[in-house]
Structure formats: C-alpha cells, structure tokens
Amino acid sequence: MPFLFLDIETDGLDSYTCNLVTLQILTQSGKTILLKDPDNLDAIKPKLENNVIVGHGIKFDSKFLKYRYGITLKNVYDTYIAEIAISGGLLARRKGASLKDLVFKYCGVTLDKSEQCGFKRGVDLTEEQKEYALNDLVYLPQIMQRQRAMIDYLGISSVVDTEMKALPAVVWLELSGVNTDVQKVAEINSQLEERRVKLAQSLANSFKPHTVNINSPVQLKDALNRLGIPVDGTSAGELMKYDHPVIDTLLEYREVNTLITKFTSRIQQFINPVTGRVHSDFNQYGAKSGRFTSSNPNLQQQPSRFTEWRSIYKAASGYKIITADYSQIELRILGQVSQDKEFLRAYNSGEDLHQLTASKIYRVPLDQVTKVQRTVAKKVNFGLSYGLWVPGLIKNLRQAEITLGTEEAEKVIKDYFKAYPSVKSYLWDISEEGAKKFALKNKAGRYIKFERTLDKSKINSVKRQSKNLPIQSLCADMIKVAMANIFLKLEPKGVIRFVNTIHDELCFEAPEAMAEEVAQIVKEEMEKAGKVYLKDLPCVAEVTVADCWSK
DNA sequence: CTTTTGGGCGCG
DNA sequence: AAAGCGCGCCCAAAAG
C-alpha cells in the first residue's frame, strides 16, 4: 500500500468543539496539496482510505477526520509512536519525541514552531502560515524511512505493527467517551463534603491550641509528634503502626478527602459540551512497558474499593456496558515464560494458584488453607515477580493487618521459591540479563531499554524492573492486539462505543439487543490474542454485561 | 510570579 | 542480590 503524508491545522485541540482549518497532504511522488476550510473531503476520501497515512501524532488528525468528515483512517504509521517503540520505551512519559525532535534527529534541521498558533477558519492564510503548514510535512518521508531502518535493525517491526493497528481503536476510544451520571456524582459529593467537615473539625480539636494544615505532611507529622505519636512520616502505612483515636480519624479524613479532591469534585469539568460525556486522553505508549496511560481524567484509577463510585459511569438509555478482563493474566504469563511445571500444572487443572501457594508455604492440605494464609500467598504470588523482598512483604502485609516477623517472612519467600524452582531461576536470569545489557525484549519482541548507570541502587532497580516489565509488557501486547481486532469487527457497526481500557480490561457500550453478541466477540478476541503467547496454559477473559461499569 | 519536586494515594 | 513494578493527580514546599 502506498504512503500518504498528512497533517492538519485546527483552531483548537478538541475535535468536538474545534474546527479543521487546513489539511495538507504530501504524496510519495512529492506532490503537495493544501486544502483550506474544506466543507467535505469526499474528493480525497478514497485516497485517505486506500493509502497508509503517515503523520506525527496521527491520533489527533484522525479524530478530526472521523468526527468532522466521517473518514476513518485504518492504515496509519505514526512517527511519534514509532519513536517511543524505537527508544525501548524510554521516551514514554517524557519529552524528546516531538516532531521538532525527530526533524533534528533524522534530518539535522532545526524546525521553527513559532507559526503554530493563529489558524482560523474563514480567514486567509499568510504566506508564512502556508509555508509553516507544508513545512511540517516535508520531513516526514525521511523520518519514516530512517525509523524503519532502525525498526528493522532492532527487530521490532511486529510490535510497531501492533501499535499502528491499535491506533485506530484509540481514536474510536477517545471519540466514544463514557456516559456519566452527573446527578449521582453531585449527591455523593455532598455526602462526602459533610463527612469531611466533621472529620476536619475533630482533627482541629485534637491539635489545639496549634493550627495545623492537615494536608501538609510536614505540619501533620509535627502535630502528631506533639501528641506523643512518634511517626516518621504520615503515609497510611506509617500511621497504622500506631494505635490512637487521632490516627483513625486522620485515615478516614484522608480517604474522604482523596475521593472529593480527585474524583467527586472534578468530574464535572470533564463533561464535553457537545457529547455530554467524559472523553479522557489515552496515550497508547504512555508507559515504558507499552501500557496505556490515561489523563484528564485518568480513567484507569477510578476508585474500585469505594464500590458506589464506578456506577456513575453508566450506559446510555437503551445501551449496556460490557466489561471484559483477563483472569490473573500476569501470573499466567509468569507461568508461561518461566515454564514452571507446578504453575503450568495448576493452571491446566483449574486449581486456585493462591490457595496452592498457601498450602505449599504453610504445609497444609489444599482444603485446610485459611483466609489469612491465602491473602499472604496472594501477596507473595504477585509481589515476588516484581522483586518484592522481606521488608516489602512485611510492610505490605501490615497494611492488610497481618503481622509477620522477619524470620517468618524469610521462610515464606524461601518456601515459595522451593515450590516453584523455575520461577526462581527465571526471575534470577532475567534480572541479571537486564542489569548486564540494560535492555530486554519480551516474548512479543517488544523492546525495553534502561538508562545505563553504575549506581548500585539504580542497578538494583533495573533488576526489579527486569523481573516485571517483560511480564507487564506482554499483557500490553495482548490487549493491543485484541483491541485492534475488536475495532475491525465492532467499530464498522457504527453503534458500539469503546469506553475504557485498564491494562487487562476492555470496556464497551452497546445497544441492549447487541450486548450479548458483543460480549462474546470481545471475550473471543481477547482470548485469541492471549493464546498467541500463552501456549502452555489457558488464557481466560471474563466478561460481564451490566447497566454500569462495575468491578 | 511560574515551574518543579516530593509525599501521599488512587488504579492495574 | 535486594528492601515491590507501571502509571497520574492533588497538595504543599522548594526552586527558578
């Protein structure tokens, strides 16, 4: 398929409330086209749909084309996403992959971005603006060509391909948004406000005659010390070491305050005036593992323990919410990549791995495992693959109100590795490899790079990341493949919305009559994408159909 | 004055 | 061998 280089100028960032001002195209043969204030793009629609569209940050352009002109770009190459992949994820969440950066890196030219503003619909372009608009395009062919050479050299073409196929799904995701029950948010907010006032008052009384800003960790620590509570810091974990009524009030205040400041009082500002829905930003290569990040608002960290909260995200009338998530995906991946016999056997015979681990470390029969033992085993199962060690395990369990001594914790870890010897050797080998090369690849070929360092504690951090990132990133690959395939199947139906993605979870909104069919397709595609890598144990996606988002 | 950093905490 | 991985947002405090 031939390439077409594309860029647009708009009078603002939001595709629902802002307008396209110019659209610029550069063909492979070097021809340029500049369209000003187009009413429709019917003339070039086939061209846009039958070429690979190359651009920098093409998600932005795609959204305007899709919403304003009904054109869905399905074959794209994004120099921004490609650059993050080439950097081994080092450029995720950082500056350094802007068009300006790439023009300098691959073409040796310093780009002038001063004309970026001031594009208005209905107002003629100055010569400078015309030049600026086309100037962004002329470097793209060379950037792409040199990136592709790097991609081949690094052997990451299949991962880049996954990214480019997932991109149209991200456009679908951001344009879809999520329906939000604003009324209910207001109710929850006022209830919480009431509680917060009372809690703050009670704390102020306890700290009298001093006036303390309870939101300031420094002031708070001093105030607690004055009360004779010798806290070192004011984190929940530290506070919980001490038994005192003020601590209980404080912890409750923190919880309520967090809910208000981060969630209930903020959501209103994100309601889009055109759609009435919340359209968060999703960055498909936001984490160096290849995971998505989400912001404004961050839909990946909406409270789940405060169970009432997620029901504010409800299906529009006549629709259902379909939620699907991979079951224990990171543990299954650990089993697959380590090839641990006991891990594989347990998953293949449908055993509960946490219960199994508990029975091994406590040396009790499976059916005699207590709840506390299973909780400990669960923390160990998840934690050790992240590089958790004795102090971390103790700290972690204390927050679950389980007390473990140092010797006990040491024994738990020792027994864990004795039970799963291949997990032990896998984690050891991969951490050594990461620290030696400062680079790794996961089983999908995704490239993960670390900053080189001689600092011992930083090297240890690289070792811990080396244990976890190949696992975390493989899950990212699975879910991206799944969403790309689901996009091809469901988006053309025109009535289904892609509402959210949270690392191992996908969320859709579909007309009631189609909900079950959608649920089935989503489950199938997720499991199909997972099975590509989980060859030796089952991949399971659990799917639910409901009126609201829940967990 | 604005920007950056760090503690704290939400999620997977 | 080491004292748990990946993120974003709020607030206060420090730095520019």
Given this model, what pLDDT does residue A114 score?
60
Q: Which residue is nearest to nucleotide C6 (CA to C1')?
A: A287
Mean pLDDT of A17-36: 95
**Who has greater pLDDT, A63 or A453?**
A63
Q: How sure is the predictor about A158, in pLDDT bands with cuts at 50, 70 and 90? A: very high
Nucleotides of C under 7 A from a protein CB: 1-13
**Who has greater pLDDT, A382 or A59?**
A59
Q: Please, what is the end-to-end C-alpha distance for chain A in angstroms?
A: 43
Mean pLDDT of A481-494: 97
A81 in Cβ contact with A102 (< 8 Å): no
**Who has greater pLDDT, A213 or A118?**
A213
Task: Give, in Å, how far the C1' of C10 lies from the CA of A474.
Answer: 32
Residue A258 CB in 7 A reach of strand B: yes
- The pLDDT tens digits for A501-537 are 999 999 999 999 999 999 999 999 999 999 999 999 9
Given this model, what pLDDT does residue A120 score?
84
Task: Give, in Å, how far the C1' of C14 lies from the CA of A240.
Answer: 29
Mean pLDDT of A308-328: 94
CA distance linking residue A379 with residue A468, whole number of Å:
15
Tell me the nt nearest to A464, Cα to C1': C5
- The pLDDT tens digits for A163-179 are 999 999 999 999 999 99
Mean pLDDT of A477-504: 96
Tell me the nt nearest to A301, Cα to C1': B11
> Largest alpha-carbon pair distance within chain A?
80
Given this model, what pLDDT does residue A115 score?
56
Distances A516 to A173, A493, A507 between C-alpha atoms, Å: 20, 15, 14
Q: Which residues contact A22 (CB under 8 A, 6 or more apart)?
A: A8, A9, A34, A35, A36, A37, A119, A125, A133
Query: Which contacts (CB < 8 Å, 24+ apart) does range A245-249 have?
Result: A246/A203, A246/A206, A249/A199, A249/A202, A249/A203, A249/A206
Task: Give, in Å, how far the C1' of C7 lies from the CA of A257.
Answer: 21
- The pLDDT tens digits for A172-217 are 999 999 999 999 999 999 999 999 999 999 999 999 888 899 988 8
Q: How sure is the predictor about A483, in pLDDT bands with cuts at 50, 70 and 90? A: very high
Residues 279-318 of A with CB under 7 A from strand B: 298, 300-306
Q: How sure is the predictor about A241, in pLDDT bands with cuts at 50, 70 and 90? A: confident
Given this model, what pLDDT does residue A217 score?
87
Encoding tokens for residue A125? 């372009």
Residues 495-534 of A with CB under 7 A from strand B: 502-505
Distances A531 to A250, A338, A479, A518, A519 between C-alpha atoms, Å: 47, 16, 12, 20, 18
Q: Strand, coil or helix: what is A178? A: strand
Residue A330 CB in 7 A reach of strand B: no
Helix pair A99-107, A140-154: axis angle to 10 deg = 80
The amino acid present at A305, given as its one-letter code, is: R
Residue A551 CB in 7 A reach of strand B: yes
**For chain A, give me the number of helices (H) and strands (E)?**
20, 13
Q: Over 90: is that where the pLDDT of A236 sits?
A: no
- The pLDDT tens digits for A412-466 are 999 999 999 999 999 999 999 999 999 999 999 999 999 988 888 888 889 999 9
Task: Give, in Å, how far the C1' of C4 lies from the CA of A154.
Answer: 30
CA distance linking residue A459 with residue A472, whole number of Å:
20
Task: Give, in Å, how far the C1' of B3 lies from the CA of A295.
Answer: 20
Q: Tell me the pLDDT of chain A averaged across its residues.
A: 92
A530 in Cβ contact with A539 (< 8 Å): yes
Task: Give, in Å, how far the C1' of C13 lies from the CA of A479.
Answer: 40
CA distance linking residue A344 with residue A537, whole number of Å:
6
Given this model, what pLDDT does residue A471 score?
94
- The pLDDT tens digits for A344-363 are 999 999 999 999 999 999 99
Tell me the nt nearest to A503, Cα to C1': B12
Given this model, what pLDDT does residue A7 score?
96
Nucleotides of B under 7 A from a protein CB: 7-12
- The pLDDT tens digits for A358-394 are 999 999 999 999 988 888 898 899 888 778 888 888 8
Task: Give, in Å, how far the C1' of B4 lies from the CA of A145.
Answer: 37
Q: Which residue is nearest to nucleotide C3 (CA to C1')?
A: A391
Q: How sure is the predictor about A396, in pLDDT bands with cuts at 50, 70 and 90? A: confident
Can you give the three-state secondary structure of A93-154, one letter per residue? CCCCCCHHHHHHHHHCCCCCCCCCCCCCCCCCCCHHHHHHHHHHHHCHHHHHHHHHHHHHHH
Residue A147 CB in 7 A reach of strand B: no
